[in-house]
């Protein structure tokens, strides 16, 4: 399962590159830079990249089923973004104080609900004590629904192939949990420890699940990806040429290419930091749902 090589798809120098999503019908890779702030679409054959500049930090998004736009989670609220015009339509206000918190993670569950995490990230000049915030789910019919689970830095959302388990990382705690999930009703159940990253080796950031049911975690600050077996055992460590990998997504026509976003955090670092990487890890992924679309 050793990849032949790791390519740079986009030499982005992103401050916080995040949230890669493979759109197979186009085909194209979508991703964001939280702090730009912007949403991007990259053609994997040519590397050509389109940019939608946004008015506030973006922490997550979901493509609409017809690919005409996306639901974007900004520090200032939830909006519908029209790709053709770039116009934004406000759907919901922020469920937190935007001076101290922002959205930090987003992915659709098997029934097409957009789940959103948050993080404590005060605006410049704002002084406040760190405080955890909740997870939220968003639909057009029900709006934002708050759930009991909390995290200081929510990350790592990914669902098991059968949809019965949600993986959830709290980067500040260095921990990944497995949460029982009722896809039909969109409810969270028992939360159990799944894996932990030892202090000093980086923290768990974005996640993905492959077709074999193994969970991948981007080890932020650790220059690598971890692949965990369904029982939480560390199966593999895959080194990367970037210090801060942030998230990954399976894509390509066979879903056997892994796209990895990364961050610079404004540091000089290596020339690769902040790039979107591409590699063949030797295992396939599964299609991820679009907003409002149920996964088969």
Q: Is 45 annotated as a binding residue?
A: no
Instruction: State the Cα–Cα distance between residues 194 and 37, nearest whole angstrom.
Output: 32
Is 18 annotated among the ligand-binding residues? yes
19, with CB counted inside 10 A (0-12, 13-18, 19+), is buried
Q: CA 191 → CA 38, 169, 186, distances in Å?
A: 33, 11, 15
- The token duo for 89 is 């339509």
Do 154 and 117 form a contact (C-beta atoms < 8 A)? Answer: yes
26 annotated to bind ligand: no
The DSSP H or E segment spanning 133 is strand 133-139
Residue 197, token pair as written in the block:
């990253």
d(CA 35, CA 17): 9
- DSSP string covering 134-177, please? EEEEEETTTEEEEEEEEESBEEEEEE-TTS-EEEEEETTTTEEE
Reduced to 3 states (helix: H, G, I; strand: E, B; else coil), residue 85 is coil
Residue whose tokens read 């019965």? 164
For residue 236, the tally of other CB atoms under 10 A from its CB is 17
Cβ(110)–Cβ(163) below 8 Å: yes
Is 102 among the annotated ligand-binding positions?
A: yes
Question: Which residues are part of the catalytic machinery?
Answer: 205
The C-alpha atoms of residue 98 and residue 58 are separated, in whole angstroms, by 12
Which residues make up each annotated binding site for a divalent metal cation? 18, 155, 205
Which residues make up each annotated binding site for substrate? 102, 104
Which residues make up each annotated binding site? 18, 102, 104, 155, 205
């Amino acid at each position: 399962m050793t990849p032949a090589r790791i390519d740079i798809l986009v030499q982005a120098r992103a401050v916080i590159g995040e949230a890669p999503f493979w759109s197979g019908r186009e085909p194209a890779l979508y991703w964001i830079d939280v702090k730009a702030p912007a949403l991007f679409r990259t053609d994997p054959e040519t590397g050509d990249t389109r940019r939608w500049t946004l008015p506030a930090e973006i922490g997550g998004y979901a493509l609409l089923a017809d690919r005409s736009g996306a639901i974007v989670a900004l520090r200032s609220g939830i909006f519908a973004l029209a790709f053709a015009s770039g116009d934004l339509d406000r759907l919901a206000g922020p469920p937190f104080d935007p001076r101290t918190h922002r959205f930090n993670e987003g992915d659709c569950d098997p029934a097409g609900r957009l789940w959103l995490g948050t993080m404590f990230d005060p605006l410049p000049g704002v002084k406040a004590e760190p405080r955890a915030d909740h997870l939220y789910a968003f639909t057009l019919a029900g709006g934002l629904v708050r759930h009991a689970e909390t995290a200081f830095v929510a990350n790592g959302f990914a669902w098991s192939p059968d949809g019965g388990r949600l993986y959830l990382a709290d980067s500040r705690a260095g921990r990944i949990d497995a949460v029982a999930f009722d896809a039909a009703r969109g409810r969270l159940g028992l939360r159990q420890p799944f894996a932990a990253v030892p202090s000093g080796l980086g923290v768990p950031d974005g996640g993905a699940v492959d077709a074999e049911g193994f969970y991948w975690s981007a080890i932020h600050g650790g220059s690598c990806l971890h692949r965990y077996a369904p029982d939480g055992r560390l199966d593999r460590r895959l080194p990367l040429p970037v210090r801060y990998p942030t998230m990954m997504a399976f894509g390509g026509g066979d879903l056997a290419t892994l796209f990895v976003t990364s961050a610079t955090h404004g540091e000089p670092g290596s020339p690769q930091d902040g790039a979107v990487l591409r590699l063949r890890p030797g295992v396939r992924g599964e299609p991820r749902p679009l907003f409002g679309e149920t996964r088969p």
